[in-house]
């Protein structure tokens, strides 16, 4: 199952959001801590200033009245608050300790009783009474703070900007990965735009250059192979005509068989060299499999039996010419090297259609499976004179990839070779009428 975290963009999202959360939480904690310290220091400085102002007022102008909420209380007054206890909130304890540090040694500092206006009571060594001055309230941090709103706004903006940057960074890489996938399946691969960081541009440039060189090499090889195969058809036709005119029937039949084998090899060369997309009409795979199986039995009555296990339905459709070439090559391969019965099977899986052809022969040695689909490779050297060029499975793989599918060659658990081709739904699930309508119909639907 594909997970979003497995993609480059998903991992960038996790890293970006994780770093932003960590930095914003640390920033918020530091701001809250510093704000409490600033509030405490300001309250201490204000209280010290008021106490010194009251003392100067008493010493210089004792007859003048004191400002509101500022007073001098006798030492024996019953209103004097008690000594602060250890259960005071930490902000208040820190305020009292900082205030004692700012006042002369021996100064007694007390806070007013809860319920009244917040004030601080100060009695120095030389004071004749308690100096009572107001103090700004020291409240613990509130659970809901406007700073949280700003934090959420800044965090959301930063996340959106970071995600946009991450998307811009991974988009060229995703385009390159898609192009690599198309190139690996043998599909046409247009040049990938060279954008993004310098290293990614260099990688994209190298990939585009590699695609051009490989395409040019494939084109040259296909042209050469097609030219040679085409030029051989005329002398083969003359050779067959001359063989038909031989008097010795035994020699005539042998030469005709050799000419037919050579003609079959030439036809395989032409099919392998053909590099244009299939323009034939799409047909239901199940119906075409039944038709080809009947034709195969009629042309080769002595051939091994063919069993059909068709479960895909009418929705599974492929171009007719491609499907004919796929099945004919696989049936010829099974007839030449396998053992009966040959089974043609179609089915629908979770995300793909499956078309497979299997036999009940000896299969292929595990070490040779990787070479089975290579062109011009014959796993058994003794087969060189049987009219086969080593292109059968290579043609099958190339045709399957040309229409967007994948080909897997392997051995069955109970013996025999199995060639399984898978085709994604977006390629092979559209109704036949819709596929025949072509691009104009697709534009109208979109």
Average pLDDT, the chain: 77
As to burial, measured by CB atoms within 10 angstroms (0-12 exposed, 13-18 middle, 19+ buried), residue 199 is: exposed
Q: Which of 25-29, 231-235, 287-291, 433-437 has the lowest mean pLDDT?
A: 433-437
CB 407 within 8 A of CB 373: yes
Condensed to tens digits (0 to 9), the pLDDT of residues 60-106 reads 888 888 888 888 888 888 888 888 777 777 778 888 888 888 888 88
Average pLDDT over residues 195-200: 81
CB 114 within 8 A of CB 97: no
Q: What's the CA angle centered on 343, arms 339 and 349, to 5 degrees?
A: 140
Q: How far is CA 30 from CA 23, 41, 125, 440, in A?
A: 11, 16, 39, 63
Per-residue pLDDT band at 446 (split at 50, 70, 90): very low
Which tokens hold the place of 378? 């014959």
Per-residue pLDDT band at 286 (split at 50, 70, 90): very high
Taking the C-alpha atoms of residue 200 and residue 191, their distance in angstroms, rounded to an integer, is 14
Strands of the sheet containing 119-123, edge to edge, are 71-74, 129-134, 119-123, 108-111
Taking the C-alpha atoms of residue 174 and residue 66, their distance in angstroms, rounded to an integer, is 77
CB 327 within 8 A of CB 292: yes
CB 199 within 8 A of CB 411: no
pTM of the model: 0.46
CB 358 within 8 A of CB 347: no
Q: Which domains, ranges and CATH numbers included, belong to the chain?
A: 4-134 (3.30.450), 279-445 (3.30.565.10)
Q: Which of 22-26, 58-62, 349-353, 385-389 has the lowest mean pLDDT?
A: 385-389
Condensed to tens digits (0 to 9), the pLDDT of residues 120-171 reads 889 888 888 888 888 876 655 454 566 677 778 888 888 888 788 777 777 8
Q: 8 versus 175: which is more confidently predicted? A: 175
Return the pLDDT at 422: 92
Per-residue pLDDT band at 355 (split at 50, 70, 90): very high
Return the pLDDT at 383: 42
- Pairing outcome for strands 406-411 and 417-424: antiparallel
DSSP lists the bridge partners of residue 319 as 282
Return the pLDDT at 444: 40
Which tokens hold the place of 109? 């500092």
Return the pLDDT at 231: 66
Per-residue pLDDT band at 56 (split at 50, 70, 90): confident
As to burial, measured by CB atoms within 10 angstroms (0-12 exposed, 13-18 middle, 19+ buried), residue 404 is: middle
Taking the C-alpha atoms of residue 142 and residue 145, their distance in angstroms, rounded to an integer, is 6
């Amino acid at each position: 199952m594909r997970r979003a975290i497995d993609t480059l963009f998903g991992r960038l999202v996790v890293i970006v959001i994780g770093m932003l959360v960590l930095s914003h939480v640390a920033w918020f904690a530091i701001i809250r801590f510093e704000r409490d310290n600033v509030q405490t220091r300001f309250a201490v400085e204000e209280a010290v200033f008021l106490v010194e102002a009251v003392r100067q007022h008493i010493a210089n102008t004792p007859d003048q009245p004191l400002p509101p909420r500022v007073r001098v209380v006798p030492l024996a007054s019953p209103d004097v608050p008690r000594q602060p206890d250890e259960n005071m909130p930490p902000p208040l304890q820190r305020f009292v300790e900082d205030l004692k540090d700012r006042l002369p040694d021996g100064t007694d500092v007390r806070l007013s009783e809860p319920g009244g206006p917040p004030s601080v009571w100060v009695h120095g060594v030389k004071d004749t009474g308690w100096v009572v001055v107001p103090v700004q309230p020291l409240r613990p941090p509130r659970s809901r703070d406007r700073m949280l709103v700003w934090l959420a706004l800044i965090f959301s903006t930063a996340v959106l900007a970071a995600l946009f940057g991450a998307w811009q960074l991974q988009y060229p890489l995703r385009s390159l990965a898609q192009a690599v996938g198309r190139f690996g399946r043998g599909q046409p691969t247009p040049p990938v735009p060279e954008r993004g960081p310098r290293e990614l541009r260099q990688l994209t440039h190298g990939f585009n250059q590699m695609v051009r060189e490989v395409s040019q090499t494939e084109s040259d090889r296909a042209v050469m192979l097609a030219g040679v195969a085409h030029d051989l058809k005329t002398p083969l036709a003359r050779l067959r005509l001359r063989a038909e005119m031989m008097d010795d029937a035994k020699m005539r039949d042998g030469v005709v068989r050799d000419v037919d084998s050579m003609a079959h090899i030439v036809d395989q060369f032409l099919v392998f060299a053909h590099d244009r997309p299939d323009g034939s009409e799409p047909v239901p795979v199940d119906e075409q499999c039944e038709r080809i199986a009947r034709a195969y039995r009629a042309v080769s009555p002595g051939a091994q039996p063919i069993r059909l296990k068709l479960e895909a339905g009418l929705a599974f459709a492929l171009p007719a010419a491609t499907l004919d070439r796929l099945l004919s090559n696989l049936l010829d391969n099974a007839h030449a090297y396998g053992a009966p019965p040959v089974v043609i099977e179609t089915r629908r899986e979770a995300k793909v259609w499956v078309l497979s052809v299997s036999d009940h022969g000896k299969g292929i040695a595990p070490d040779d499976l990787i070479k089975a689909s290579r062109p011009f490779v014959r796993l058994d050297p003794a087969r060189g004179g049987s009219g086969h060029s080593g292109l059968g499975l290579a043609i099958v793989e190339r045709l399957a990839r040309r229409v967007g599918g994948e080909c897997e060659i392997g051995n069955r658990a109970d013996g025999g070779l199995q060639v399984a081709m898978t085709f994604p739904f977006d390629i092979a699930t559209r109704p036949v009428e819709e596929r025949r309508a072509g691009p104009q119909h697709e534009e109208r639907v979109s």
